[in-house]
Structure 1
Amino acid sequence: MTTDVSGLTQLGAHVEAPKSPEEAVMERVPSPHQGSAYVVRFTAPEFTSLCPMTGQPDFAHIVIDYIPGEWLVESKSLKLFLTSFRNHGAFHEDCSVYIGKRLVELLAPQWLRIGAYWYPRGGIPIDVFWQTGEPPQGIWLPDQGVPTYRGRG
């Protein structure tokens, strides 16, 4: 079985990191198992963005789960998209929900959720959760595996 990668522009090429999330190009490929309900998980344990007020770095452990419809996100383009936040100032809530909404816009998945587990700022961790609705019945949806804050690692 092969996947059609003919429209991809980033995979297999040297690509500079995008300057901002708005400029980042995420790409997609056809799902080879359309009509099957299965979960795809991406974990980014070293996500970085900037505080919009101080310019100081903020760090998060991001977990994205989705059930594909017709499309899968191409992982290199997702990695470049997530990297584009390193020089982007936005509050935790904005970064987290924006990532989810961009993926939904690109993929039109059957279902998607994002868990963004932010490391403490001012001694308080902020966790942000967003999903498109109730997960479909009958799927295996494992816990995201990130414990509540107790000195994350």
Structure 2
Amino acid sequence: MSRYPRLRQLGRPAPLPASPDKAVLEVVPNPDPKALYLVRFTAPEFTTLCPMTGQPDFAHLVIDYAPRSRLVESKSLKLFLGSFRNQADFHEACTVAIGQRLVKTLRPRWLRIGGYWYPRGGMPIDVFWQTGQPPKGLWLPDQGVTGYRGR
């Protein structure tokens, strides 16, 4: 821990933030900022609330980014994503807000987020957002989430 004295959540009890605005995304230095590589986070049990009914909505999120000088600390990312649990927003707004907040915090070379939302009312909604074209030479695997197909 002493190697990263500025981290306030890792290795300590940290309550779930009351809202995404109150969540603190912490960063650590990229050990090789000149290297072009992809970092992937997958959150298959993401939850938020429907802004119309207040009922829970569920999604499988896949976040890919090519870092510059900063990496997101994973516990802070988990807490940030968990803070949406009691937040009411549409799928589109929620997915884009997560991507934009990460870009603001990390200033990556490139970032994309895929929000694969489970159906409510019989219709799944998949939301995709990215900062632009991926850097040339970046290995970009498929996000690995198949589109929803009814039974």
Indicate the TM-score class for this superposition, using the shorter chain for normalisation.
over 0.9
One-letter amino acid of the counterpart of residue 13, structure 1: R
1:135 equivalent to 2:130? Answer no
1:107 equivalent to 2:106? Answer yes
How much has 1:76 moved relative to structure 2?
0.1
* Aligned twin of 1:23: 22
How much has 1:102 moved relative to structure 2?
0.3
* Aligned twin of 2:55: 56
One-letter amino acid of the counterpart of residue 143, structure 2: Q
TM-score, normalization by structure 2: 0.97
CA RMSD of aligned residues (A): 1.5
The runs of 5 or more residues in structure 2 that have no matched partner are none
* Aligned twin of 2:87: 88
- Per-residue displacement from partner, 1:99-132 (whole Å, max 9, x unpaired)? 0000000000000000000001210000000000
* Aligned twin of 2:46: 47
May I ask how many residue pairs the two structures share in their alignment?
151
CA–CA distance in 1 between the matches of 2:30 and 2:3?
9
CA–CA distance in 2 between the matches of 1:131 and 1:5?
30
* Aligned twin of 2:7: 8
The runs of 5 or more residues in structure 1 that have no matched partner are none
TM-score, normalization by structure 1: 0.95
CA–CA distance in 2 between the matches of 1:5 and 1:107?
17
* Aligned twin of 2:116: 117
